[in-house]
Amino acid sequence: MTDAIVPVLIATLGAGTPLIFAALGELVTEKSGVLNLGVEGMMLVGAIVAFITTSATASLWLGVAAGCLAGAAMALLFAFATLTMQANQVAAGLALAIFGTGVSAFIGKNYVGVALQSPPASDASFASAIPVVGPLLHALHPLVYLSWLLFAGVSAFLYRSRLGLVLRAVGESPDSAHAIGHPVIRVRYLATLFGGAMAGVAGAYLSLVYAPLWLEGMTAGRGWIALALVVFATWRPARAVFGAYLFGGITISQFFAQGAGIPFASQAMSALPYLATIIVLVLISRNPVMIRQNAPVSLGKPFHATV
């Protein structure tokens, strides 16, 4: 029984990890009142920059750092357009997603099909004797643990720190926050950069750990799923993590179903994560009161300082 459970858990945690990075980053961004729909593009740019860096340096962590910076750089473009130039956030986010898809394909054309050496798992041999948990810990990559630390950090920041309170105040009422002296635009810039950096890390995880190779469009819609997860979670970190692993489990279910010989069309199995996303959003949208109660009031709305 254990031999059957452990591979499923490992695959689920691995598939959910990039969604955790991307969703928690976008959650912080949206908590500040900024709606960035360009997560897919930022993930793709982070993935290719991380892959090229690791190919050149043979260092996975340098690749992750490069992917993080690339995602933040993409987010900076979005922040400048929407926060400084007051462009429409929805239009700018969609443009960023398209731009990131095209840029990643262009700079990665010489790396298509090139594979990296599979990354090592974590060094948790001390726990290998523990049933289920031991083999699971030993097989997980350190970035999985980092995603858990990110969850703890984001939760503590948002609900147990003064800076988190300022961020939420900016998202709820930027005019009031500005009136008492908080730098609304600066807070939104930093939140947007953080979201972009986490999307870059999510892309780096995909190209360096989850499938250590580069393929055009390898995010396969995960950026859009991460956006849906934020709404699914009603802007709460714990629910976002739960949703990430739920969608991760749905994503890998097709492989275990095929391995078990279940007679189900592979195309239908591949569509399951996106079908689940649509179903979840439909169910949530049936309760608009819950959305209004939890969504940042100023989400997607530009801020104009009156003084």
Q: What is the pLDDT of residues 186-197, one digit of tens each?
A: 999 999 999 999
Query: For 38-47, 78-87, 92-101, 270-279, which range has the lowest pLDDT when averaged over its residues?
Result: 270-279
Taking 60 as the threshold, does the pLDDT of residue 307 lie above it?
no
Separation of alpha carbons 287 and 282, rounded Å: 9
- Within 10 angstroms of residue 193's Cβ, the number of other Cβ atoms is 20
CATH code for the domain of 93: 1.10.3470
Taking 60 as the threshold, does the pLDDT of residue 120 lie above it?
no
The arithmetic mean of pLDDT across residues 274-286, rounded, is 74
Q: What is the pTM of this model?
A: 0.90
Residue 238 CB partners (closer than 8 Å, separation 6+): 151, 155
Judge whether 23 lies within some domain.
yes
Taking 80 as the threshold, does the pLDDT of residue 73 lie above it?
yes
Judge whether 307 lies within some domain.
no
Judge whether 204 lies within some domain.
yes
The arithmetic mean of pLDDT across residues 240-265, rounded, is 76
Judge whether 278 lies within some domain.
yes
- Within 10 angstroms of residue 33's Cβ, the number of other Cβ atoms is 28
pLDDT for the residue numbered 1: 46
DSSP string, 50-66: HHHHHHHH--HHHHHHH
User: Number of structural domains, the chain?
Assistant: 1
- Domain with 109, as residue range(s), is 2-294
Judge whether 221 lies within some domain.
yes
Q: Which of 140, 261, 163 is nearest to 154 (CA)?
A: 163
Judge whether 200 lies within some domain.
yes
pLDDT tens track for 25-44: 999 999 999 999 999 999 99
pLDDT tens track for 193-212: 999 999 999 999 999 999 88
Judge whether 306 lies within some domain.
no
Judge whether 157 lies within some domain.
yes
pLDDT for the residue numbered 63: 94
Taking 50 as the threshold, does the pLDDT of residue 126 lie above it?
no
DSSP string, the chain: -HHHHHHHHHHHHHHHHHHHHHHHHHHHHHHTT-----HHHHHHHHHHHHHHHHHHH--HHHHHHHHHHHHHHHHHHHHIIIIIS---HHHHHHHHHHHHHHHHHHHTGGGBT-BPPPPP----GGGTTSTTHHHHHHHS-HHHHHHHHHHHHHHHHHHHSHHHHHHHHHHH-HHHHHHTT--HHHHHHHHHHHHHHHHHHHHHHIIIIIS-BB-TTTTTTHHHHHHHHHHHTTT-HHHHHHHHHHHHHHHHHHHHHHHTT----HHHHHTHHHHHHHHHHHHHHT-HHHHHHHS-TTTT-------
Residue 294 CB partners (closer than 8 Å, separation 6+): 234, 235, 236
pLDDT for the residue numbered 141: 86
pLDDT for the residue numbered 68: 98
pLDDT for the residue numbered 196: 98
